[in-house]
């Protein structure tokens, strides 16, 4: 029974406090009551904390979009995180593309140039997918988690103490208002002391003033104490910025590692594909000589520039070279790796002997270096007089 009485009294006291705060807040909004202003330093700290919270949320959400563009996957990961369960492993886009390329290359035949190239591209895409997975894991651990901890931990504590400070301020201003009203009533009562009743009223209001002054001292002390607690928490925002700066450096380093890996993977793939002929032979196709990527002098004195920016040998000089009898000397313009045993590998600036063979494709000549012999692409040569 006593416990129930205590709970009822506490509930009534809390309701009274809440009503008092609501009245004070409403009167402040209507301009009918004075409001205690926080000092400028505390206001600046509150503004800095709010700004930090807003931009941290925006950066965190956009980083999540960058690392995982699929919104459904993000929702699934969020649900698993809230359930404190590990999300199932999911194949990412580069890995899926890589698997499709490998399957296609296997279907077309690893022995064909296109099939082999598809397999090599697929393997590279899978390596990029692995690097992408490592980037997501590293960024989540070293960048997203600290930002989320601030939003869900430190800032929630700040917001809680800030709300408590607001309540203490409302209590303080309500106490000031009550004291002001009590003093005004006491003054009016002292002016009306001609009768016994008025004298009693004067004593009552004097007691009310004393009670209000005591209440004001208590609320002022509680407000000052809460303001100090809030200030100490808010001053930790500078440390939060320093911590987030270190996390940002970790994120940049993770991105740098990821892009460096991708660049190296693609560079290696480009070198591998560079050793393939530009198209492979079958019953309905003929071999086409590869076109060098650099623009330099080519066979003959004149050259035509294509729309892609590559320099292609003049047809007149090609015909002259193909129709010339006997062998001629030619300088190699670019390195060339033989795609098969019928071709001859070339080194830039070396001089080889070339001659035409009846029935050979128009884009190729037979090259000879010492006792080595094989087909060479015309576009890699400059005919010497």
Q: What pLDDT does 37 receive?
A: 87
The pLDDT value given to residue 10: 60
State the residue for tokens 């200030």.
231
Domains and CATH numbers, the chain: 9-275 (1.20.1270.60), 328-383 (2.30.30.40)
State how beta strands 303-305 and 351-355 pair: unpaired
pLDDT at 180 over 90: no
Q: Which residue has the higher pLDDT, 238 or 295?
A: 238
Residue 236 has which token pair? 């930790």
Each residue's pLDDT tens digit, 183-221: 887 777 777 664 444 555 667 777 888 888 899 899 999
45-66: pLDDT as tens digits? 999 999 999 999 999 999 999 9
Please state, for a pLDDT cut of 90, what percent of the chain lies above it.
44
Q: What's the whole-number average pLDDT of the chain?
A: 80
CA distances from 385 to 30, 251, 301, 321 (A): 100, 60, 11, 11
Q: Which residues contact 224 (CB under 8 A, 6 or more apart)?
A: none
| Residue range 307-322, pLDDT digits in tens | 333 333 444 454 555 5
Paired strand residues for 305: 311
In the numeric block, which tokens belong to residue 89?
Answer: 């492993």
Q: Where are the alpha helices (H) located in the chain, listed in sequence order?
A: 2-29, 40-67, 71-82, 93-108, 113-139, 145-149, 155-191, 196-235, 237-274, 315-323
Would the pLDDT of 359 be above 60? Answer: yes
pLDDT digits (tens, 9 = 90+) for 31-41: 666 788 889 99
Residue for token pair 């292609």: 312
337 SS3 class? coil
Tokens of 332: 């190699």
CA atoms within 13 Å, Cβ hemisphere of 35? 16
Buried b (16+ CB within 10 A) or exposed e, 241-266: eebbeebeebbeebeeebeebbeebe
Give the helix/strand (H/E) hosting 313.
strand 311-313
Lowest mean pLDDT, pick from 34-43, 237-246, 273-282: 273-282
Q: What is the pLDDT of residue 181?
A: 84
> 129 versus 82: which is more confidently predicted?
129
> What local confidence, expressed as pLDDT, does residue 188 receive?
77
Produce one character per residue of 45-79: b if its CB has 16 or more CB atoms within 10 Å, e if not. Answer: bbebbeebbeebeebbeebbeebbeeeeeeeebee
Given a contact cutoff of 8 angstroms between Cβ atoms, the answer to whether 136 and 112 are in contact is: no
């Amino acid at each position: 029974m006593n416990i129930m009485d205590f709970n009822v009294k506490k509930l009534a006291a809390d309701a009274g406090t809440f009503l008092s705060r609501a009245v004070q807040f409403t009167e402040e909004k209507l301009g009918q009551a004075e409001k205690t202003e926080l000092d400028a330093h505390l206001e600046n700290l509150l503004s800095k904390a709010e700004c930090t919270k807003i931009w941290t949320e925006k950066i965190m959400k956009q980083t999540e979009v960058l690392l995982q563009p699929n919104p459904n996957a993000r929702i699934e990961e969020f649900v698993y995180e809230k359930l404190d369960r590990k999300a199932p492993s999911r194949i990412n886009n580069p890995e899926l593309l890589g698997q499709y390329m490998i399957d296609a290359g296997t279907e077309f035949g690893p022995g064909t140039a296109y099939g082999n190239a598809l397999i090599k591209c697929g393997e590279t895409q899978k390596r990029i997918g692995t690097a992408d997975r490592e980037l997501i894991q590293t960024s989540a651990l070293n960048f997203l988690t600290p930002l989320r901890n601030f939003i869900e931990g430190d800032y929630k504590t700040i917001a809680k103490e800030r709300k408590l400070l607001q309540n203490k301020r409302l209590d303080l201003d309500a106490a000031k208002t009550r004291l002001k009203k009590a003093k005004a009533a006491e003054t009016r009562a002292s002016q009306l002391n001609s009768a016994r009743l008025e004298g009693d009223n004067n004593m009552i209001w004097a007691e009310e003033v004393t009670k209000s002054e005591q209440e004001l001292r208590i609320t002022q002390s509680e407000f000052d104490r809460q303001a100090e607690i809030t200030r100490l928490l808010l001053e930790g925002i500078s440390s939060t910025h320093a911590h987030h700066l270190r996390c940002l450096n970790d994120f940049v380093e993770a991105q740098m590692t990821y892009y460096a890996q991708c660049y190296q993977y693609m560079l290696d793939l480009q070198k591998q594909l560079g050793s393939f002929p530009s198209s492979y032979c079958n019953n309905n196709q003929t071999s086409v000589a590869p076109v060098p990527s650099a623009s330099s002098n080519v066979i003959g004195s004149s050259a035509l520039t294509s729309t892609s920016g590559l320099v292609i040998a003049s047809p007149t000089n090609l015909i002259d070279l193909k129709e010339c009898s006997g062998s001629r000397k030619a300088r190699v313009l670019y390195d060339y790796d033989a795609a098969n045993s019928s071709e001859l590998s070339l080194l830039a600036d070396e001089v080889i002997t070339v001659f035409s063979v009846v029935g050979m494709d128009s884009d190729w000549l037979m090259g000879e270096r010492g006792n080595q012999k094989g087909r060479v692409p015309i576009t890699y040569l400059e005919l010497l007089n």
